[in-house]
Amino acid sequence: MYPADRQTFAFNPLEIVGIAAGLSTLSVKDDRRSWLVEAIRRGVSSGHFRTPLSVFGANAAVGIIDHDALRLLPELSLDVPNLSAAELLLVSGINLAFGSLEPSLAQAVESALLDRILTRPVDLNDAAEAAAAYVSVLRIRDRTLAPKVLMDDLEKVIILCRRFPLMSDALKKRHGGRATLEISDEYDVQDLLHGILRLHFDDVRPEEYTPSYAGKHSRVDFLLPRERMVVEAKMTRNSLGQKDVIDQLLIDVGRYSKMDHVDTLVCLVFDPERRCANPKGIESDVENSGGRLKVRVVVCPQAV
């Protein structure tokens, strides 16, 4: 695994992370996972990982397979200012996919990447590097240009909705091989959104109703009375594609437009299987239908 010419997967961050990601998907315990973690630990102890990127790749691979096993490795440190733009893109992209960095280090990498993008030409070799650059810039914008103390309530809710897929992905990665927390239907989305809103707003009131188009499936919207705002959540499924989503949202817009105590409607459409072919079209069409009512729609996740 550690030949003198260093021509193996162990020294290529993308390859070692890719192998770890594949092993992590196995549904039963497998010796190959523990073998790779132990082999990486030995490699780190013996000084085989000599470059910052190879050290990062080794740590990321262990974290993907067994986050608790990171205690077997020295704490990761990166000389972020001296990383090249290509290295920053690689680290940022892997972190976006697997959450491999501690928050403070992740912020340092993203900030350094933004600095490079804004101050000098950055070569992008493929779609993955472009995605890493684009998403990193969006996350930094949310964090730096709209800090919590200055952010208005609507923008706060929008950012929470945009980041809903990040939380959904995080729930799938549990310590110690614990069962994952799956978001399987609209009720799961509603429950999680309710919890998120309660973290940020003092008064969140569920409103349950059964509109005519929903048949037997009731839906819960959340009223923020102090903010005069309603937040609703949908999740696409076999029977709820793009056309149906638009139809339902337009009905909701019409209903809330008639309510004097509501000024703003925010609609989260969670689309994990990418059933909506034109998410930007949904957002634009529905938002322009509000009239008196301010309407914002977030369809997520979206392809870059």
d(CA 50, CA 64): 21
pLDDT tens digits, 43-76: 999 999 989 999 999 999 999 998 888 888 998 8
Is 293's pLDDT higher than 50?
yes
Please tell me the predicted confidence (pLDDT) of residue 145: 57
Return the half-sphere exposure (C-beta side, CA atoms, 13 A cut-off) of residue 295: 23
Cβ neighbours of residue 5 closer than 8 Å, sequence gap 6 or more: none
Is 20's pLDDT higher than 90?
yes
Chain-centre distance of CA 75, in angstroms? 25
- Its CATH class, for the domain covering 164-300, is alpha beta
- Is 151 within 8 Å of 157 (Cβ atoms)? no
Give CA separation, 77 vs 5, 42, 72, 144, 218, in Å: 25, 19, 15, 23, 50
Cβ neighbours of residue 94 closer than 8 Å, sequence gap 6 or more: 13, 14, 17, 56, 57, 60, 100
Read off the tokens for 136.
């990193």
Q: In the chain, what's the furthest Cα-to-Cα distance?
A: 73
Where does the pLDDT of residue 135 fall: very low under 50, low under 70, confident under 90, or very high at 90 and above? confident
Arithmetic mean of pLDDT, 29-42: 89
pLDDT tens digits, 150-166: 468 898 899 999 989 88
For residue 233, what are the β-bridge partners? 268
Arithmetic mean of pLDDT, 136-148: 66
Q: What percent of the chain has pLDDT over 70?
A: 90
Task: Read off φ and ψ for residue 92, nearest 5 degrees.
Answer: -65, -40
pLDDT tens digits, 6-15: 889 999 999 9
Q: What percent of the chain has pLDDT over 90?
A: 32
- Mean pLDDT, the chain, integer: 85
Arithmetic mean of pLDDT, 136-140: 77
Pick the residue with more confidence: 258 or 59? 59
DSSP 3-state of 90: helix
Whether omega before 301 lies within 30 degrees of 0, making that bond cis, reads: yes
DSSP 3-state of 126: coil
Is 211's pLDDT higher than 50?
no
Least Cα distance to 136 among 148, 118, 153, 119 occurs for 118
Is 176's pLDDT higher than 50?
yes
Where does the pLDDT of residue 218 fall: very low under 50, low under 70, confident under 90, or very high at 90 and above? very low
For residue 297, what are the β-bridge partners? 267
What count of other Cβ atoms lies within 10 Å of the Cβ of residue 80? 18
Where does the pLDDT of residue 110 fall: very low under 50, low under 70, confident under 90, or very high at 90 and above? confident
pTM above 0.85, yes or no: no
Dihedral over alpha carbons 92, 96, 102, 108 (to 10 degrees): 40
Please tell me the predicted confidence (pLDDT) of residue 167: 84
DSSP assignment, residue 72? G
Pick the residue with more confidence: 74 or 177? 74
Give CA separation, 101 vs 4, 75, 94, 177, in Å: 29, 11, 9, 20
DSSP assignment, residue 30? -
d(CA 13, CA 34): 19
